[in-house]
Chain A
Amino acid sequence: MAITAGIDVGSGAVKVAVMNIDDCRETLSAHYLERIRRRDVMEVVEESLAAALRDAGLRRDQLDYIATTGDGDVIPWRTGHFYGMTTHSRGALYLVPESRAAVDIGALHTRAMRFDPSGRVLQYQMTSQCASGSGQFLENISRYLGISIDEIGPLSLSATDPEKCSSICAVLAETDVINMVSRGISTPNILRGIHNSMALRVAGLLRAIKVEGTILLTGGLARDTGLSAAIADKLKEGGGAGVSLATHELSVQAGAIGAAIWGAFRHGKLAKQQEATRGIT
Chain B
Amino acid sequence: MTTAVKDLSQDRQKQMISAHYAKLARAREDGRKVVYTFVPGNLTELLNNLGLLPVLPEINALQSGMRGKTGDYIHIAEKAGHSEDVCTYVKADIGMLKSGNVGPTGEPLPKPDLLLLSYTGCFTFLKWFELLKREYDCPVVMLHVPYQGDGRITEPMRKYVADQLRDEVIPALEKLAGRKVDYDLLREQLKLSALAENDLVWVLESAKHRPSPIDAYFGGVYYIGPIFTSFRGTTDAVEYYQLLHGEIQQRLDDGLGPVTPEGTLQEEKYRIVVEGPPNWTSFREFWRMFYGEGAVVVASSYTKVGGLYDRGFRHDPSRPLETLADYCMGCYTNLSLPDRINLLEKYINDYAADGFLINSVKSCNSFSAGQLLILRELEKRTGRSGGFIESDLVDPRYFSAANIKNRLESYFQMVEAKRARS
In Å, the complex CA distance between A208 and B78 comes to 8
- Per the CB 8 Å criterion, the residue count for chain A at the interface is 3
In Å, the complex CA distance between A130 and B78 comes to 20
Q: Does B26 contact A (CB under 8 A)?
A: no
List A residues 207-236 near B (Cβ within 8 Å): 207-208, 210
Question: Which chain B residue has the least Cβ–Cβ distance from A207?
Answer: B79
In Å, the complex CA distance between A144 and B369 comes to 42
Contact indicator per residue, chain B 54-83, by CB within 8 Å of chain A (1) or not (0): 000000000000000000000000110000
Closest CB of chain A to B37's CB: distance in Å? 32
Contact indicator per residue, chain A 194-214, by CB within 8 Å of chain B (1) or not (0): 000000000000011010000
Q: Is the interface of A mostly helix, strand, loop or mixed?
A: helix
List A residues 156-212 near B (Cβ within 8 Å): 207-208, 210
Contact indicator per residue, chain B 78-116, by CB within 8 Å of chain A (1) or not (0): 110000000000000000000000000000000000000
Q: Is the interface of B mostly helix, strand, loop or mixed?
A: helix
- Which residues of A are found within 8 Å of B79, using beta-carbon distances? 207-208, 210
- Per the CB 8 Å criterion, the residue count for chain B at the interface is 2
In Å, the complex CA distance between A207 and B78 comes to 10
- Which residues of A are found within 8 Å of B78, using beta-carbon distances? 208
List B residues 127-153 near A (Cβ within 8 Å): none
In Å, the complex CA distance between A207 and B79 comes to 7
In Å, the complex CA distance between A210 and B81 comes to 11
In Å, the complex CA distance between A199 and B124 comes to 34
In Å, the complex CA distance between A113 and B298 comes to 53
Closest CB of chain A to B78's CB: distance in Å? 8
Question: Which chain A residue has the least Cβ–Cβ distance from B81?
Answer: A208
In Å, the complex CA distance between A210 and B78 comes to 12
Closest CB of chain B to A260's CB: distance in Å? 34
In Å, the complex CA distance between A278 and B177 comes to 75
Closest CB of chain B to A180's CB: distance in Å? 18
In Å, the complex CA distance between A41 and B79 comes to 38
- Which residues of B are found within 8 Å of A210, using beta-carbon distances? 79
In Å, the complex CA distance between A2 and B78 comes to 44
In Å, the complex CA distance between A210 and B80 comes to 10
Closest CB of chain B to A166's CB: distance in Å? 10
List A residues 66-84 near B (Cβ within 8 Å): none
In Å, the complex CA distance between A95 and B79 comes to 29
- Which residues of B are found within 8 Å of A208, using beta-carbon distances? 78-79
In Å, the complex CA distance between A207 and B77 comes to 12
- Which residues of B are found within 8 Å of A207, using beta-carbon distances? 79
Closest CB of chain B to A127's CB: distance in Å? 12
Contact indicator per residue, chain A 125-167, by CB within 8 Å of chain B (1) or not (0): 0000000000000000000000000000000000000000000
Closest CB of chain A to B358's CB: distance in Å? 25
In Å, the complex CA distance between A42 and B78 comes to 41
Closest CB of chain B to A104's CB: distance in Å? 21
Closest CB of chain A to B320's CB: distance in Å? 50
Question: Which chain A residue has the least Cβ–Cβ distance from B78?
Answer: A208
Closest CB of chain B to A109's CB: distance in Å? 18
Question: Which chain B residue has the least Cβ–Cβ distance from A210?
Answer: B79
Question: Which chain B residue has the least Cβ–Cβ distance from A167?
Answer: B397
Closest CB of chain A to B71's CB: distance in Å? 13
Question: Which chain B residue has the least Cβ–Cβ distance from A208?
Answer: B79
Closest CB of chain B to A148's CB: distance in Å? 35
Closest CB of chain B to A51's CB: distance in Å? 43
In Å, the complex CA distance between A83 and B78 comes to 26
In Å, the complex CA distance between A208 and B84 comes to 12
In Å, the complex CA distance between A210 and B76 comes to 12
Closest CB of chain B to A65's CB: distance in Å? 37
In Å, the complex CA distance between A89 and B78 comes to 24
In Å, the complex CA distance between A204 and B231 comes to 42
Closest CB of chain B to A18's CB: distance in Å? 41
Closest CB of chain B to A211's CB: distance in Å? 12
In Å, the complex CA distance between A208 and B82 comes to 11
In Å, the complex CA distance between A143 and B78 comes to 36
In Å, the complex CA distance between A208 and B79 comes to 5
Closest CB of chain B to A210's CB: distance in Å? 8
In Å, the complex CA distance between A208 and B76 comes to 10
Closest CB of chain B to A133's CB: distance in Å? 16
Contact indicator per residue, chain B 360-383, by CB within 8 Å of chain A (1) or not (0): 000000000000000000000000
In Å, the complex CA distance between A150 and B79 comes to 35
Closest CB of chain B to A235's CB: distance in Å? 15
Closest CB of chain B to A195's CB: distance in Å? 21
Closest CB of chain B to A165's CB: distance in Å? 15
In Å, the complex CA distance between A275 and B79 comes to 48
In Å, the complex CA distance between A158 and B169 comes to 67
4 nearest A-B residue pairs (beta carbon): A208-B79, A207-B79, A208-B78, A210-B79
Q: List 4 A-B contacts (CB under 8 A).
A: A207-B79, A208-B78, A208-B79, A210-B79
Chain B interfacial positions (CB closer than 8 Å to A) = 78-79
